[in-house]
Amino acid sequence: MKTYNEEQFEIFRSGGKILAQTFEVLEKMVKPGTSTLDLDKAAEEFIRSQDATPSFKGYKGFEYSICTSVNDCIIHGYPRADVILKEGDIISIDVGVRYKGLCTDAARTFPVGKISNAAKELITITENCFWEAFEHLREGIKPKEIGAIIERYIQKNPKYEIVKGQETYEIIDNFFGHGIGEDLHQDPLIPNYKPRKKVLIQLTNKPIPAGCVICIEPMITQGSNKNRVAGDKWSVFTVDGKLSAHYENTVIIHEDGAEVITMLESF
């Protein structure tokens, strides 16, 4: 796992600030009648105006600057001119910024106008998963321990128990958080649940050192976590058509805690 020094942390923080400001720009646009392609264009324009670049654009052939995932789209949603936000939707927006050679990455799920109480609850619990894990971050924590913390938090919710025909919360278990730095994705792999398969247990068993920079990104569904990749080969949807939410921040690991760098407030 690569570690960074204080001079590099300052670059990360600057990139994280640009990313957080991008969310401010986009949040004002999240309203009925806006297309997800409009959001993408606004994000790219703002990021480039800050002498940074959108790190998603061109990554493994991805054509856009942000991911826009509406309702039952979990992650990697393609911005499109014909996807128009409407009252009651929720949209997960995932943004990556490269600034002076270092990347930051974060995601938020926003309401579009007035949304249902169930959708509000899903957004809140997904965000809370991140903050529950954040409270335990420090030098030496293992990625598998981060996943176990998130899973325990979800299991405490009364909707976790699977009852046929009812809404339940489940954790997406085939996409992960990650280390970040010169590359958008680098070691370590950060699961959102307690790993059970031997290979994944081994991959996530190494302690995270101080100076490592990671992204924690819980993805929680309102129903089954089974998912499918759309024909664009990027957008990932729930199989049952139920809502999904996503929340992510880039975090610097310190000896005695951690620091979120993709919010305008300091943590």
pLDDT digits (tens, 9 = 90+) for 170-204: 999 999 999 999 999 999 999 999 999 999 999 99
Residues 6+ apart with CB under 8 A from 197: none
Buried b (16+ CB within 10 A) or exposed e, 209-229: eebbbbbbbbbbbbbebebee
- The reply to whether 15 falls in a domain is yes
Q: Which domain holds residue 84?
A: 6-258
* Confidence band of 144 (pLDDT split at 50, 70, 90): very high
- The reply to whether 180 falls in a domain is yes
* Average pLDDT score over the chain: 94
Q: What is the pLDDT of residue 23?
A: 98
d(CA 117, CA 142): 35
Q: Is the pLDDT of residue 257 over 90?
A: yes
* Confidence band of 232 (pLDDT split at 50, 70, 90): very high
Q: What percent of the chain has pLDDT over 90?
A: 92
Tally the domains of the chain: 1
- The reply to whether 1 falls in a domain is no
Q: Is the pLDDT of residue 267 over 70?
A: no
Q: What is the mean pLDDT of residues 158-180?
A: 76
Q: What is the mean pLDDT of residues 61-65?
A: 96
Looking up residue 164, the CATH number of its domain turns out to be 3.90.230.10
* Confidence band of 162 (pLDDT split at 50, 70, 90): very low
Q: What is the mean pLDDT of residues 62-81?
A: 97
- The reply to whether 265 falls in a domain is no
- The reply to whether 267 falls in a domain is no
- The reply to whether 81 falls in a domain is yes
Q: What is the pLDDT of residue 156?
A: 83
Q: What is the pLDDT of residue 163?
A: 45
d(CA 71, CA 127): 16
Q: What percent of the chain has pLDDT over 70?
A: 96
- The reply to whether 178 falls in a domain is yes
User: Is the torsion defined by CA of 13, 14, 19, 21 positive or negative?
Assistant: positive
d(CA 113, CA 44): 24
Q: What is the pLDDT of residue 168?
A: 79
- The reply to whether 27 falls in a domain is yes
Q: What is the mean pLDDT of residues 65-80?
A: 97
